Structure 1
């Protein structure tokens, strides 16, 4: 797909999509999303999503350039034969090489749906064929020796193989991939039953790693209509509530960092705080709710989302220390060991996306935007070639190292899944109409509630500014609702429809614009991009700056005050601050700002204010030249003002 905007509407059926791209597929289905999309099979979800991902998207501007960088320097360079080799040897006893194929496959499929490149198509097809060729007669696909099956990370790896195979089937309707997934899942169920029928005592972290296979079980139940996969999924959820299980339903409202006593060893089967695996289980539970309609499942996910957001997610939209929940939201101003694993970042986005699709509530889109522009983009190297495993809020930005004797790690395999999810989320379609979730230069094609084709074209440099113009290109006029998300931080918003002001605008909610829409109609937004000061701490107080969805940081690449100088906002704490865009752009950075502060000079007299330089957090420490950065800045302590 060219980065140049198309001049006409494209058909949105899967048949048209695959005819254009060269993939054989069933007709009449929109290209599916990565996350829990209903497959073209005999099963049916009882609970429909309120929103679904749209059709083809073409993004430009900064986000478009980062997608293209990652596509060329990461996606197209993946060596799937290298990833398949452990499946051929099958000698592993405790490591997790088998997750890499599934993660890279799902990222590649998302990237292909965004940009259907023939070279990538050939790699994907060969990767699926190569993996299926390793399947043993009993159905096993994995890298573990016969004596070590179902131990450690074996089931976790099967989960990712299943997801990769099912994603490929969803896009292509290739029966061989579905058959391979069925055989693998049948092998797993048979072996679990042969070994006593319990899954939560297999592998790591109170069974969360192994039992996160719940998500592909639900999807396989839908794809095949076979109830045995649903029955096995329900059995897993029951086992969660046993004494040795993670108790993900009964403890859903308990702080995720405090559910179980601290184990003697941090990385151990008894550890119940593992962030990535826990959220993976809840993503599967939400899919199981859609299949069964059991409200307790949905409520558990709603409760855990709120708890994670309230106690763990930091200003950049992620969290976890050494891969575990630790009550990190209130501790984010201090240096944190192995902070913000990228796998945690991506899985938090996946959980938020599943909730956004199910509920259609704007708060989940807000959470995704915060994470995408900050924690996720910060993990992507400036040239798009690889991903950091951890991303601190202060310090330096370093790439992750290889794992399991291979040249990649869990996060470098996972990062692109989050990055290439965005093109399908900018605008989504639903029963009420079309929801515009994110503001990115480019276009999205989808269908109206009556099945008519529509293209939404955005002209904007957001978040450099808050000016957004959305133009509709329609095949026919239609009465419908357009939902436009107003960010939580935009307290002063101007919205116009065809240049006429629309008065009812609420921050943190969708504006519902119900009318007869015609081709050429426009929606204009002016969002509140004033700089904001965020303060945290009681005795030891720190502040950070934000602009729109962006967290800002000081970086040693920029001119201005030394990072060691203590500065304070001029207008007091928890206020707005005037930001001036800087034209002195540093290499490998995106947006730069300057603001005035009062510097502590340790004199009797007060000096004039000083200018300090900032850039977007994703660019901080993320250039060709090494640099350090600072997001949380200490506020001067004044004993004379103690109460």
Structure 2
């Protein structure tokens, strides 16, 4: 054991759990249990089902797994700086989520082949990677090992095949041994104040959960201790500091001293939540929630993502301005994953509200209509452009990462909790869940959400039973109608869950009508801009549609409360567009009486610029500066 770990292990820290015999490899019972757990089975139809099917068939199943595995072959171990070894794990964990969503023999064979192929490249010392022997632990080497472990553990979660668990353990043991042979310090390895390397915390915690081997817990605790050293990212002590201002701007944007790297930072916090579940240390949870809140308030834009050239930069106040390399898909996915982690842990509506906004706008806005490709960056005003290939792997990090968010979200639509069941999201489909008396019940949602705010939910179950249904009332819905079997439920609070407690029986119907009125939001001080939102959906202008040019100054015509009338328009473009509306705007005019209202077409942000032909789009519409009215 290296000196750093030995020193930490000898400190008299009392942990409120019992460690099982490591040889028994018994699963650890966490000190903190999640409020929510997955439903038994889901089956979607409609809009989301189409998106998932397209990406499954045209991206996940279309991937040549052997090409990803080829990077790990012993003869390829010459790398000194690149990240080829992340691609297998990102793609594979996406494939596992897709399998959990829709199990199939075809996909299972793909998973089996990919794991067998990866494990065949594992060295006798346990190493899986492509770095040259004298460059191990440098740059992205540990990051790649992390994704290998996450993939192997994901496979174990659905198959219980011990070879994948053993393989992950050997990768972890080899990493710990490599660190021991050097100085034992992980936060000085690679870039971004050690955040990329130290994000290995997540699979290390998951390994401890599966094996109860205390060496993994000790390693996890040591990683977190090192975070707080001068060289580290100080993710706990700086939890109340704006994420875009935690460290001075480095001379080299992509450098070891850069402490604002968005994706890697959130990955570390995901691992910290896993460690919180194991130990019950409230400091860990508070640090994650404080940082999540800060990211939401200072970085996350109207579409649910953020970061410029992959770094936090306190960007929310200037989201209406042109921003370089805005909202990378990897950042979008990790923000969605972190929000989903907190939803699962706490059951609180604010995390579901944010995840929904991110999913329908920033994430789906990055996905091509056929599900085959992902845009690396997605501006709020501009064009959707494909990213370039990375590391000679035939794809880039975002194309590998996007499906991880795409297939995670549906799995949390309906979830179980100790009091009954919780409905987090709305989508056409059926959801099976286990009741308090272990019955398997079905909740069927009938809806075209988010086109419509009307959702009907019908219960089907063997015997009548008393339990509670928690139903999310989105923050955006100011006027909500809720009824059970026609009986109105009053005092529904937006931004929370309506709790319905009763004896449920087959045929019981919940009717929910959400407020989907379009409303105008404004941002900017010196240079003001306006945008339009309908429910969770951001709307945009698109150069495909007839009317005034996007460069024309337009003011949305809204009432005193900010609501704007939206008239649905038939789609005649030949492109797959979720929503299409006509709205009235006041154009800039040079006459004393002003100009008559102009009718413009708006579509949902995810569809904007996402047609067969390239087009420009605009979410934030610049507003006239009127010094006379200041």
TM-score calculated relative to the size of structure 2: 0.94
Alignment check: 8 A CA contact 1:533 1:573 kept: no
Equivalent position of 1:71 in the other structure: 56
- The answer for the alignment partner of 1:167 in structure 2 is 154
Alignment correspondent of 2:34:
49
Look up the match of 1:35.
none
For 1:528 and 1:42, the matched residues in 2 are separated by 45
**Any idea what SS the aligned residue of 1:595 has?**
strand
Query: Matched residues in 1 for 2:275 and 2:160: separation?
Result: 23
Alignment match, 2:603: 615
In the alignment, what sits opposite 1:387? 374
Q: Tell me the SS of whatever aligns to 1:535.
A: strand
Query: What is aligned with 1:116?
Result: 103
Structure 2 unaligned regions, length at least 5: 1-24
Give 1:411-430 correspondences, 5 Å limit: 411-430=398-417
Work out whether 1:277 is the aligned partner of 2:250: no
Matches within 5 A, 1:483-562: 483-562=470-549
Determine the C-alpha separation between the residues in 1 that align with 2:489 and 2:144.
Answer: 51
CA distance in 2: counterparts of 1:601 and 1:239, whole angstroms = 61
Hey, what does 1:36 align to over in structure 2?
A: none
Q: Quick one: which of 577, 584, 609 aligns to 1:589?
A: 577
Structure 1 equivalent of residue 358 of structure 2: 371
Distance in 1 (alpha carbons) for counterparts of 2:134 and 2:317:
45
Residue 500 of structure 2 aligns to a residue in which SS?
strand
Match of 2:451 in 1: 464
Classify the secondary structure of the residue corresponding to 1:620: coil
The alignment partner of 2:245 has SS state of coil
Aligned to 2:172: 185
Task: Indicate the SS of the match to 1:606.
Answer: coil
Which of these residues, 622, 626, 633, is aligned with residue 621 of structure 2? 633
In structure 2, what is the Cα distance between the partners aligned to 1:594 and 1:41? 60
1:106–1:167 CA contact under 8 A, matched in 2: yes
Distance in structure 1 (CA, Å) of the matches to 2:282 and 2:131: 38
Within 2, Cα distance between the matches of 1:308 and 1:433?
Answer: 32
Provide the rounded CA distance (Å) in 1 between the counterparts of 2:100 and 2:228: 39
Counterparts of 1:281 and 1:420 in 2: how far apart (Å)? Answer: 21
Query: Which residue of the other structure, out of 63, 83, 91, is the alignment partner of 2:68?
Result: 83
* Displacement of 1:573: 7.3
Query: 2:266 and 2:201 mapped to 1: Cα distance?
Result: 12
In structure 2, C-alpha distance between the alignment counterparts of 1:317 and 1:423, rounded to whole Å: 17
Deviations 1:17-70 (CA, angstroms, capped at 9, x unpaired): xxxxxxxxxxxxxxxxxxxxxxx9431211000001212211111111111111
Per the alignment, residue 125 of structure 2 pairs with: 138
Select between 244-253 and 597-606 the one with higher mean Cα deviation. 597-606
2:288 to 295, 301, 305: 301
d(CA) in 2 for partners of 1:116 and 1:306? 35
2:287 is the counterpart of 1:286? no
The 4+ residue runs of structure 1 with deviation greater than 4 A are none
For 1:110 and 1:251, how far apart are their aligned partners in 2? Answer: 33
Answer whether contact 2:519 2:558 (CA < 8 A) is retained: no
2: CA distance between counterparts of 1:637 and 1:264?
36
Residues 451, 578 of structure 2: 8 Å contact kept:
no
In the alignment, the residues of structure 1 paired with residue 428 and residue 200 of structure 2 have an alpha-carbon distance, to the nearest angstrom, of 37
The reply to whether residue 600 of structure 1 matches residue 588 of structure 2 is yes
Residues 520, 558 of structure 2: 8 Å contact kept? no
- Contact between 1:478 and 1:516, CA under 8 Å: does it hold in 2? yes
The alignment status of 1:256 with 2:277, answered yes or no, reads no
Report the Cα distance in structure 2 between the residues aligned to 1:63 and 1:637, rounded to whole angstroms.
41
593-602 or 624-633, larger mean C-alpha shift: 593-602
Runs of at least 5 residues in structure 1 that lack an aligned partner in the other structure: 1-39
Contact 2:415 2:422 in 1 (8 A): yes
Q: TM-score, normalised by structure 1?
A: 0.93
Matches of 1:613 and 1:601, distance apart in 2: 20
Contact 1:46 / 1:292 at 8 angstroms: preserved in 2? yes
CA distance in 2, matches of 1:607, 1:46: 65
2:22 matched residue in structure 1:
none
Distance in 2 of aligned mates of 1:42 and 1:346: 28
Equivalence for 2:15: none
- Counterparts of 1:490 and 1:594, CA distance in 2: 21
Q: Distance in 1 between matches of 2:525 and 2:78?
A: 53
2:334 is paired with a residue whose SS is: helix
CA distance in structure 1 between the partners assigned to 2:547 and 2:437 by the alignment: 56
Say if 2:46 is the partner of 1:58.
no
Write out per-residue CA displacement over residues 191-226 of structure 1, whole angstroms, 9 at most, x where no aligned residue. Answer: 111111110000110000000000001100010010
After superposition, give the CA deviation of every residue in 1:170-203 in whole Å (9 maximum; x if it has no partner).
Answer: 1100000000011110001111111111100001
Q: Residue 565 of structure 2: which of 555, 578, 602 is its match?
A: 578
CA RMSD of aligned residues (A): 1.1
Tell me how far apart the structure 1 counterparts of residues 131 and 463 of structure 2 sit (CA, whole Å): 56
